[in-house]
Structure formats: C-alpha cells, structure tokens
Structure 1
C-alpha cells in the first residue's frame, strides 16, 4: 500500500510538499517524475518485491508510460502469464508492473481485468492523457480536483489542499449529507472542489482539451439464483477461501484484526489453514468488550494473539490525530479504536486482514432484519432513521427510492417482491460501505503505515454474494444465515451462534470520566462563534441539559429512561465536538502554524 499524487504541470517544490503531507502512507521510499505536462509523486510501503525494480513511479520498457499505484492486484500472477504470452517483458516481480503492461495491451479497458484493491494513475505522454481507476468496492481512495485546466489527484484530500488556490471552503451540500446520513454520498467531499472517484469507476483527463471523463468499468448486479443453504455455503466457502489465500501473498509480516465476531473469525480460521498467524484485539475493559470471544478463536486456530487495552485518556489524546487522518468528523464512536489498534499492530506486522464487507454483503446489521422476505410486507413507506442509525436529522426517502437507487443494475428475471433485503444490501454496499467503513479502514491503518486487506470485498466474493437469495441471508430473526452456516465448518458454536455486537466505544462512561469537561470546553461559545453553520444557542442549551443529567444522577442509574436521555445527549454532543475539532484542523489550520499536522487538544481549545 502506498500514497500517490500529482498534477498536469511542473512544480517540484509543490509536489514535494504534497508527498510530505501524506508521507506515512509510504515511509520506505519516495519517488518523483517530471516533464513539461506532468508532476507525479509516489510514497512506497514495500509489500511485494522489496527490490528497487519495483520502485515507483514505474515506466514501461521504452519509458513511454508512467504509472503510480496504491494497493494490491491479487490476480497479477495470472495476468502476468497472459501478458508474457503476448510478448510483454517484465523487469520486476511486483503486481504494479502488471498494470502498466495491461494498459499497453488493452488500453483503458484494462481496469476491468484487475481483482484486488487499487487506485492508480497512468500518465500517457503520447496521448496526452491521465488515466486512473479505483477498485470495485472503493477500498483504496482516489481524490481529484479539476478546474480551469488544472487536474490534481492524490490518495488523500489533504495533499490536494496543499496546492495554492485550492480554497479551504466547506461544501455545504456535502455537510448537510453528512449530518443526514452519517456519511457523504456520491463523489463529493466536505471540501469544495475536491472530489472522490466512485468505486468501480475510471477517469481520463485530456491535457490538450482539459476535458475530464468519468465512467464505470464495473457495477454490482443482483442475480439471485435458486439454491439450498448448503449450496450457498459451498459457493461462499470456495470464493472466500480463494480470496483469503490471495490476500496472504506478502513479503512482509502479516496479521489479522480479530474482533471475536463472525466475519473476522471466519477469515482467521481460513487463513490459519494456510499459514501461521498473529491476531490482534482491542477493548476498553468494559462489559461489551469481545476479548473472551477473540481469545476463544485465537486458541481454536492456534494464533499468536495480542490484546490491546485502551484507556479512555488515551482515546481522548488521540482525537486530533484521528480526525486529521480521517479528513472528516467521525460519525460513529466505533471508528476510534482503529487508530490505536493500528499503532499496536505495526509493532509486529505490516499487513493486516480485516472483516469489513461481510455485513453489507450478507445482512449483518440489525436494521437489515426489517427487509427479510418473511417479515417485510412490501408496502411503500418512509424508512425511519433505523435504516442508517439513529441521528437527529434522518434522510427520509421512500422505499421505492431506497430499493431502486440510481445506477443499480439487476438481472431481468429478478423477483422484486422477495429480494428487498438484497436491494437494501446493494444500497449499503454502494453508499455506506465506501462512505464510512472503508474510509476508516484506509485512513486509520495507513496512519500507522499498515496495509489493510479486506478479503470479503474481492470482486469474486462480491459477485457471488449477490447471487444468493435474500431468504438465505436473513429470515427476519437471524442475520447472515449463510455465513453462520459456513462458520460451523471452521469455528466453535459460541462464535457462530452469537448475535453481532461490534466494537463499542463506552461513550457514556467516557462522558462520566473526562470527556464531559472537554466537551464543554470544545463547544464553549467563544470557541464556536466563528463557525457559521453551528447554532451556539441550541448547543448551549443541550450542554446544560447534559451537564444537569450527569451531575445530578449517578453514572449507572437504574432508571431506563434517564439512561436513554444520557446517551441521547452524549451522542449529539460527541458528534458536535468532533465536527468542531475537524473545522479547526481543516478550515482554520493557519491558527496552528504552517508546519502543524494535528496539534494537541490544548492548542485547539
């Protein structure tokens, strides 16, 4: 995994500044390419072929093409063999070189050949075009700015913000979308003029005409096929085992983030059949921790297991760094341990496998149960906020809109009445997954120079998952039926039969200890008066209500309604605090000095 950036003119100091801004993405090596029409930078994290032959920017045999690449191509061995048979000669053993030869052979059709996680950019001086693509699920990010003849690209938005003339201005439509949905839909970011290439899409920028073209090279298609539960389990067993095997290819140490839930446990069990493993789990020492379950899986597969106990004070101290890496305010407290777990893992490994994607493909969230075939009546109605997760201003839309989102492709013989769940999962796959989960995975693991791989999101697994009927994923009471059935082949019953919990940050306990005072300081009127989109009066009233509840009532009051009220205010004030810190870091960074990345909380306040 690496970092890439560049633009369509020559400016060596600017390119160096951009690469230094995201240097943690590739601490092993930095490379540059310049000509009259292109400045291209690369930051290398050595994973496959550690030699200089795999250094980037990489050129073809006659130096007529220049490539920078972030990610892994898992089917590179097969593609290389095919390209060699067609006369191509390779100088390295890396997967990177396959991309440039595939472009030579197939032109802009090459992206559809790749299976893996990737974001790349090719500069073709002869055709005077930049050609780039992003993987099918959006595991690897690719940001761009295109205006007034200037084209800029990077692995992270903060690199583009280093370019003079790029204004640090909030896109108000994107901010509204974030508040409504807990993520920003589509290709927008919170920064005006900076966009993200959608998953499964490619772009071409012509430096002569200054025209930018974006088009899909792949889209998910629902093809539910009649099959038994065991047949569905066999199908996923085959494709997932192959995907895990592909993601184990590495020339550096590799581990697995093991939550104790079904998805990561299944991946760990499959991987342990192929190699010895290091596994890692994080928790806070509270009732909802999953240490015991993760420990049971580690013992079952015989892994070298590490547990990270996170303190609430450590969590507080990590806030500015976490938000700086995410480039947007976190909307879920569950994202927070990822940064600290990544730091711990980096002591022992450079590559980690994660279980993201299993819930979106197989129906793992509680909100998915309402779409199960036997419980959903099919009436067109407004979805409430439970479709996303409770928040103050849910994005209401009709069921018809939710189940037929723009760009959705379905096979002609799809039985709509019995496939509500699959349609809801497709919506999650195309929106929430890249908008929340994968943004967290990339940004907060790369912060520690770790390559995170997600076997559930290889193209073959995605396509197989959308052939499985909704009825084999949920019956309205049980989630991920097919994965649980598959899990019985590899895991103890206590893992396959438990309900999903997920990583829980103890927000109420955090408020009761040290976050209450911090929250009051962050949201103090003098600290937010210059943030135009925040209503200081409403925030002040909410703070007073929250303070009253927490100071007059014991932390673990037995009154259910009062506990609900405590959590209600905590969630709102936590998000407003994160939003305020993000604003200080990204919209008003001049207050912390030009060389600052993420100042500590005392400087922000």
Structure 2
C-alpha cells in the first residue's frame, strides 16, 4: 500500500509496523516526518511525497494525496510545475496560516506540526476523499490512511463492533465517522482536527459543508459552465511529463475525459455486460491505443487477496480491477485518469425518485421525493440483511446511528436538515459512496479524478434537481466537445448519447429484461474457489460476532442453486481476507467473551444465533 501514518504524544506508538503494512512494493518511496512527540512516515509512488518545511517558520508539513490549485480571490491559483504538493501547501501556509489549507483544490490530507507550541493538526479535504483513521488514548493518538495497517499494529487492541460489522456486510460501507472496529474512528471531512494527546482526544472544526442553492438559469447555461470548469479541472491535472492511462468504460463519463486528452492509453476490463467492446470502439474512433484485460485463470482470486489487504471497509473485492493488472499498468503509464463520480454529482443518481409501475416492471420517474423526516431518510436506505446475519441487523444499525431531532447527526456527521442528509449524505463524506475502485486504483499509480474538482462540486450544488433528473449534463457536454464519440451507442441502452435521457431509461430497462447473462451472480457461480475459502476460514467465521458458519454455507449453496446472494457473499469474502480480520478473530478465539451483543446498552440485544 501507499499512504500516511503517524503517532503523536509522550507515549506515542512505534509507527514502523504501520509503515511496513503500508508498503507493497520495493519501488515505493519512504519519507519520515515529525519532531519531538510526533513521528510519522509517508509511503508514496514518487519523490513528490516528500514532506516540506514552512518558509520562515519552525513548522513541518506533509501531504498525502494530490493538490492541483488553491481557491483564492475569486479564482484558482494553479500549482506551478516543479513544485511538489507539500511545497505548494507550505508556501500557502506561510502566507495565510492553516486557513490556506482549507482552500486547496484536490484529494488530500495534510498533517501540520508546530514544535514551538507542540500542536499537531490534520486537515482533510472537502469530501474526505483520503480518509484518515485514528486510535486515541491518553498519551498517544495514532493514525493512518489505512485502517488495515492501523488496526493490525501489535500495540492497538480492537474488536469488531457487531452493529457496524453488520452495516458493512449489508451496505458495503459504514457511514460517517464510524468503522467496524472498536476504538478506531474516521476523521470528519472538510475539517481541521487538533490532536490532544494528553487527553487522548481529537477536536475537529468544520470549514465547509454542502448546501444546495439551485440557480434559476436555462439548462444550456449549466452546460456552458460545466464545460468550462471541466476543461479547467483537466488542465490542472494532466501533466506533459507523464504517460497517462485512462480507465475507459462504455458510458459517457470516461468518454468526456478522453475527449480532452491528446496523448493517452486506454484500458478496459471484460465482464458479462459487453461494456469493454463499446470502450474499444470509442478508443478506436478517438485514435488512441486500447488494451483489453480479459479474465484469466486466478484473476478473481488475485483481486480478492490484493483488494482485501488495502480495504478500508468501503466496497468489495470484485470492484477494484486495476490492482489485478498493476504490473502492466506500471510498466506502460505513470498515472491513471478516472471518470468516477459524475453519476453521483451531476446525474441525480443519488436522488430518491418516485416510481411508476408498468407491465414490464417498475420505472423511475424523474421527480424527486420530498425527504423531510427521519423516517423518510431511513426509508430510502437499503436495509437488506445478508441471510447469515440476524434479521433486521442492518436496518437497526442505520436506525441507531441517525439522531431524532436537531441537530441532524448521522454516524457522527452533522447535516443542517434531513433533506440535506438525503441530498448529500451519499457523497459527504465520500466514504459513504461504496465504490472500491478509487481505493484500489490509487494503490497502483497516482490517479486523478477530474469530477471531484471543487469548481465542479460547487456547480453541482447550484444545479436544480429537476435538471439533474431529466437531463444528462455529461452527455450534453460530450456532444458539444466530441460529437463523434457521443454518437457511439451506450453499452446499456444501445442508443447514441445525444438521445433524450428518458429514451435511454426505457431502452435500458428493455435491455435488462431481455438479458440472460446473469451478471455478477452468474460470474460468482462459475468461480471454483469460494467454497474452499469459506472452509479455510471456518474458525474465523465462527469467531465473528453475529455470523453463523452454517448459515454462511447455506447462503453459498442457495446461490449456487440459483438464488442471488452476490452481495452477501462478496462482502463476506472481502471481510475474511482482510488482515485485520485474522488479527481480531485470533484475539476473539482466545477470549472467553466472544458472544458480543450488537449494542449492550439497548433494550434489544442480538447475539450470534438469535
């Protein structure tokens, strides 16, 4: 892995075990930082991960991630060529203090140490795109961008919290600041956190939160502004001294990225949908090299092993394809470019909508539901519980972690209203969004995400909800910038991207009804190693709270017989292969109190077997 770790306090922990767990390659660059009571390390892909000293001050600063520009004076100041991220942030800090770090445009976390007053602060970006996990105790606060590396430290004791373990297995993530591990929390997004090692506390101040302020303008005006901001975002991120590789899909988001690139190599991954063939056609028309990665013997097993060891309990092993071909990618390119998150921000993907019953099935209607109550928020969440867990365990985890009344607090994150939680809670913080691809990609190579640019996030918060639901902003932008690429049919609907969105909805629905591929469920049935993995982890499964081994085997057998338990099995397989699971399971097996309730202080208690 690459990432950041540190420990602060008079009784700070040795960070070498965390650093060793973070490093996956001999090619990784290692940098130490900190003085006095702070010691830390960064493991980076290149020399750009080197810490920096603030000019004119006895202050050191280390950044993990990427910063492309700084928002100031109504515009954006781009990071100059040849200036590292840490140097850029250090110069801004020298001018305007810690507030300058809250103006940085990128995906990053920054640690600032001032030895003169013994203060250590950690600044997270707006969406918390680089999550930081911490364990606090009197005398030491230890942190890392990898929960696996942190939780397996020999000096840190932790166990699975049944409530949050159930949430991960059922929902692909644990929302907000919570994690499935006792004593380990996540720093909030858009915050400046001060570490108080004497008290063993972390105090965070929020500097931003998403607020929807829709503007009454024609949709075409939003298309104009979107194109301008997207081109600026790409200019910030694409460097002439790098060979870029584009993760190309069959949709419009990565096509739009391709339309702005002069030199790039495109990559696609085969699956049952045939999406890779659309990607090949797009690359051919654009005149760029294209590599198709087909499933090979042992590929999915390799994905499970590699992705589980870098998992932060967000998503499942079968979603991060890049790590399975990292050797090829590292030989051929220096950085990856991804089209992730356009769906989340600009296409109304997370907006609860009304549905219309038709003879062919339920069809979403581009009209948003009004969400104004706690019950309405909970009603939008999928409370499906894997068959090997007690009934209702996932729904109870959501229920117990959402406050009733003001302030609105969901899993430790505060929102101004239930409506705001519904609007933005899927991506604020970004770890609420369940795609594992980003966490896997950045372990392979530096990866840029232009749709996460601050200018585009601001624009998304001004886009009226009806526009997001009725139109496709990305498709419109692509039709302007590269109409020839927009003319290639979408892999799901079979229609050119310039066609109306409602027509795509009907066409996609019809294609799904006609499809007999079986999708991921069928792929999982063709995998010959799952039963062996489950059997090999028999004792581990028995040590997990709430999970019954016999129920796990019944779930697997039912899936092989035709039921669809893809989600339940993928989540469990990812969990079983995580390094922290082996550590925690070993400690539970040696403890007489392995029957842990979901919530000891609640009147309703569920233990394994209920």
Following superposition of structure 1 onto structure 2, how do residues 249-288 of structure 1 map, counting pairs within 5 Å?
Answer: 249=239, 251-270=241-260, 272=261, 275-284=262-271, 286=272, 288=273
The equivalent residue for 2:415 is 408
- Give the structure-2-normalised TM-score: 0.77
Instruction: Give the whole-Å Cα distance in 2 for the aligned partners of 1:26 and 1:107.
Output: 36
Check conservation: 2:254, 2:338, Cα contact below 8 A: yes
**Matches of 1:150 and 1:337, distance apart in 2:** 37
User: What's 1:460 paired with?
Assistant: 455
5+ residue gaps, structure 2, are 356-363, 387-391, 491-496, 513-517, 589-610
What are the Cα deviations for residues 294-344 of structure 1, in whole angstroms up to 9, with x where unaligned?
11221232222211112363112331221111143x655651424225443
Q: Following the alignment from structure 2 to structure 1, what is the Cα–Cα distance between the partners of residues 441 and 472? A: 30
Shift of 1:529: 2.6
Deviation of the 1:128 alpha carbon = 0.9
Shift in alpha-carbon separation, 1:367–1:522, aligned structure 2, 3 A:
farther
Name the structure 2 match of 1:58.
52
How far apart in 1 are the matches of 2:302 and 2:49?
A: 36
Distance change >3 Å, CA 350–CA 189, structure 1 → 2: farther
- For residues 30 and 128 of structure 2, what CA distance do their matches in structure 1 show? 24
CA 1:336–1:60 in structure 2 vs 1: closer, same or farther (change >3 Å)?
closer
Alpha-carbon distance between aligned partners in 2 of 1:369 and 1:300, rounded to the nearest angstrom: 36
2:160, 2:182 within 8 Å by CA — same for their partners in 1? Answer: yes
| 1:450-529 to 2 correspondences below 5 Å | 450-475=445-470, 481-489=472-480, 490=482, 491-493=485-487, 494-495=489-490, 496=497, 497=499, 506-515=520-529, 517-518=531-532, 521-522=535-536, 524=538, 528-529=541-542
Q: Secondary structure at the match of 1:532?
A: coil
Q: How far apart, CA to CA, are the structure 2 residues paired with 1:252 and 1:544? A: 48
How far apart in 2 are the matches of 1:373 and 1:130? 50
Deviation at 1:124, TM superposition (A): 0.6
- Measured in 2, the distance between the counterparts of 1:66 and 1:374 equals 50
Deviation at 1:131, TM superposition (A): 1.3
SS in 2 for 1:141: coil
What are the Cα deviations for residues 61-91 of structure 1, in whole angstroms up to 9, with x where unaligned?
Answer: 4561111111121115989x9999xxxxx99
Distance 1:91 1:327, change over 3 A: closer
Q: Matches of 2:66 and 2:25 in 1, distance apart? A: 14
Corresponding residue for 1:199? Answer: 189
- CA shift at 1:56, angstroms? 2.4
Counting only pairs closer than 5 Å after superposition, residues 271-420 of structure 1 correspond to structure 2 as 272=261, 275-284=262-271, 286=272, 288-311=273-296, 313-328=298-313, 331-332=315-316, 335-363=319-347, 365=349, 368-370=352-354, 375-376=367-368, 378=370, 382=376, 387-388=381-382, 392=386, 393=392, 395=395, 406=409, 407-409=414-416
TM norm structure 1: 0.78
How far is the alpha carbon of 1:361 from its aligned partner? 0.8
Once residues 106 and 567 of structure 2 are traced to their aligned partners in structure 1, the CA distance between those partners, rounded to angstroms, is 36
Residue 41 (str. 1) matches residue 36 (str. 2): no
Q: Which position in structure 2 is the counterpart of 1:413?
A: none
CA contact (8 A) 2:9 2:197 kept: no
Greater Cα offset, 374-383 or 17-26: 374-383
**Cα separation, 2, equivalents of 1:218 and 1:173:** 29
**What is the aligned counterpart of 2:424 among 406, 423, 426?**
426
Contact 2:7-2:143 within 8 A present in 1 as well: yes
The alignment of Structure 1 onto Structure 2 pairs a total of residues equal to 539
- Mark the CA change 1:200 to 1:512 in structure 2 (over 3 Å): closer, same or farther: same
Q: Which residue of 1 aligns with 2:208?
A: 218
Classify the secondary structure of the residue corresponding to 1:340.
helix
2 CA distance for matches of 1:369 and 1:487? 26
Distance 1:306 1:92, change over 3 A: closer
Distance 1:13 1:215 in 2: 25
Show the 5 A alignment for 1:22-171. 22-24=22-24, 27-33=27-33, 35-46=35-46, 56-61=50-55, 64-75=58-69, 93-161=83-151, 163-171=153-161
Say if 1:390 and 1:306 are closer, same or farther in 2 by CA, change over 3 A.
farther
The offset of 1:519, in angstroms, is 5.7
| Shift in Å, 1:364 | 5.5
Where 1:169 maps in the other structure, the secondary structure is coil
Structure 1 pair 541/281, CA: closer, same or farther in 2 (3 Å)?
Answer: closer
Aligned partners of 1:82, 1:579: CA distance in 2, in Å? 42
- Deviation track 1:114-160 (CA, whole Å, cap 9, x = no partner) reads 11111110111012111111111222222222211211222212332
Looking at structure 1, the residues matched to 7 and 28 of structure 2 have their Cα atoms a distance apart, in angstroms, of 23
> Are the structure 2 counterparts of residues 31 and 336 from structure 1 closer, same or farther at C-alpha, using a change threshold of 3 Å?
closer
More moved, 383-392 vs 194-203: 383-392
State the secondary structure of the residue aligned to 1:108: helix
> Which digits, 9 at most, give the CA deviation of each residue in 1:238-258, with x for residues without a partner?
111111111113643222111
- The answer to whether the 8 A contact 2:175-2:432 is kept is yes
Aligned residues of 2:246 and 2:336 also touching (Cα < 8 A)? yes
Cα deviation for residue 203 of structure 1 reads 0.7
Question: CA 1:297–1:71 in structure 2 vs 1: closer, same or farther (change >3 Å)?
Answer: same
- CA distance in structure 2 between the partners assigned to 1:389 and 1:367 by the alignment: 17
**Alpha-carbon distance in 1 for matches of 2:5, 2:234:** 30
State how 1:546-565 maps to structure 2 within 5 Å: 546-547=559-560, 549=561
